[in-house]
Amino acid sequence: MNIELIDIPKIGNVLGNIGVIENGTMPFEMKRVYYLYDIPSSAKRGGHAHKSLVQVLIAISGSFDVLLNDDVSERKVTLNKPNVGLLINNNIWRELENFSSGAVCLVIASAVYDEEDYIRDYDDYLNHIKTIRTL
Ligand code: T46
């Protein structure tokens, strides 16, 4: 599956840590930053794939699970460290759940928001993935 855990550079000392993300830190050009917060523990976010968008998810506070599926394999990744990012390439179905109290999911994205890039129906996703595999 086309995902990867990446290290977020950390500057630390006895006074605490600084996580630094700047041009060149991500394996793509950063175009947008957004974050999910005040998420009820029962909430399930995501439930879609992106045709083109690539992004990195970071649990900058608390923890949550990311369920990933590319129609060939399934993975569950628990994010709980502010210095670890989950790179999710395009055409991967993702769901986010099991948010801890105070969890914040920071997302660094390769493009600005475009609803046309989303596939929000799972059957549509399966059809899409079959089509691109036969190209
Ligand atoms: C993803 C996960 C991790 C905007 O208008 N601009 C934005 O930049 C975003 C991210 C969302 N929106 C609107 C679109 C919807 O009307 O906010 C509403 C909620 O978005 P969505 O249902 O897509 O939220 P999540 O948490 O399910 O998904 C988001 C990202 O959309 C998605 O790319 O991978 O976070």
CA–CA dist 25, 37 (Å, integer) = 23
34 Cβ below 6 A of ligand 1? yes
Distance 120 CA to ligand 1 centre (A): 11
Question: What's the predicted TM-score (pTM) here?
Answer: 0.95
CA–CA dist 128, 47 (Å, integer) = 15
Q: What is the pLDDT of residues 33-61, one digit of tens each?
A: 999 999 999 999 999 999 999 999 999 99
Q: Whose CA is nearest to atom 27 of ligand 1?
A: 46
For the CA of 96, the closest atom of ligand 1 is 3
CATH number of the domain at 3-134, please?
A: 2.60.120.10
Q: Which two tokens stand for residue 111?
A: 């493009």
Instruction: Tell me the β-bridge partners of 44.
Output: none
pLDDT of residue 135: 73
Q: Whose CA is nearest to atom 32 of ligand 1?
A: 46
For the segment 78-82, the average pLDDT, to the nearest whole number, is 98
What percent of the chain has pLDDT above 90?
90
Domains of the chain: which residue ranges? Answer: 3-134
